[in-house]
A = this chain, B = another copy of it.
């Protein structure tokens, strides 16, 4: 069916970035873009961008560039954005509430069809326009809405249990913000996002460069 059996995962992640840039350009009324300009806006190498786009088949005009709207729709199709994705979010603490209220998801075709929390204090509250439900209703909502994506923003101690319940209910993709490695049955994709790891990588790179802070301001360049 599709002449592209597989697209590298790193490329998929970048396609999502290109898509965001293209959406911005389309709103600016821009008609075409060159690979160089698009790569610059996305923060990647122009050759790499062209190679990424080559996975979608030829979609540019030589000598001119890429048609903004066309390319945007093409990428959106490949990423599976023509249809909205129903997501459930478990854990409405600080991070979960931020995710529920984050507009970047809704504008990209992801809709939270259920917010769940184990704490009775949270249940019933409204977050991001949705009412927080008790954990008991999780299975029912996942089944009814056919949600395929589950987001875990709970404390680490209960994340595995939540993961089990989500997979048992039929969720096939999980985005985990809890700082633990989750075990899921085969056929279920788990992606881990650990915010503090990012900070620690930064701290390491900073330390590796050595304490050269004084060198950066040789002649009182503070002003």
List the interface of chain A (C-beta within 8 A of B): 6-7, 9, 12-13, 16-17, 19-20, 41-43, 78-81, 85, 87, 93-95, 97-99, 101-102, 104-105, 108-110, 143, 146, 148-149, 151, 170, 172-175, 179, 181-182, 187, 189, 191-209, 213, 216-217, 222
Complex interface: chain B residues within 8 A of A207 (CB): 79-80
Q: How many copies does the complex hold?
A: 2
**Interchain CA distance A97-B192 in the complex, whole Å:** 21
A41 CB → nearest B CB, Å: 6
A179 contacts B98, C-beta separation under 8 Å: no
Give every chain B residue within 8 A of A200 (Cβ-Cβ): 12-13, 16, 19, 79, 81, 108
- Chain B contacts of A79 at CB under 8 A? 200, 203-204, 207
Whether B181 and A105, one on each chain, are in contact in the complex, defined by CB atoms closer than 8 angstroms, is no
Given contacts A199-B87, A213-B146, contact A206 B172 (CB under 8 A): yes
State the Cβ distance, A144 to closest chain B Cβ, in Å. 11
Chain B residues with Cβ under 8 A from A41's Cβ? 181
B residues less than 8 Å from A105 (CB atoms)? 195-196, 199
Chain B residues whose C-beta falls within 8 Å of the C-beta of A209 in the assembled complex: 172, 187
**Which residue on B lies nearest to A220, using beta carbons?**
B143
Asked if residues B80 and A206 are in contact (CB atoms below 8 Å), the reply is yes
Q: CB distance B173 to A85 under 8 Å? A: no
Closest CB of chain B to A89's CB: distance in Å?
11
Residues on the B chain within 8 Å of A110, using CB: 196, 199, 203
Which B residue sits closest to A199, measured CB to CB? B110
For A195, what are the chain B residues with a Cβ–Cβ distance below 8 Å? 99, 102, 104-105, 193
4 residue pairs, one from A and one from B, having the closest CB atoms: A43-B181, A80-B207, A94-B98, A98-B98
- Sampled A-B contacts (11; CB under 8 Å): A7-B204, A17-B181, A94-B101, A95-B98, A104-B179, A109-B203, A175-B199, A187-B216, A189-B205, A189-B206, A191-B201
CB nearest neighbor in B for A77 = B207
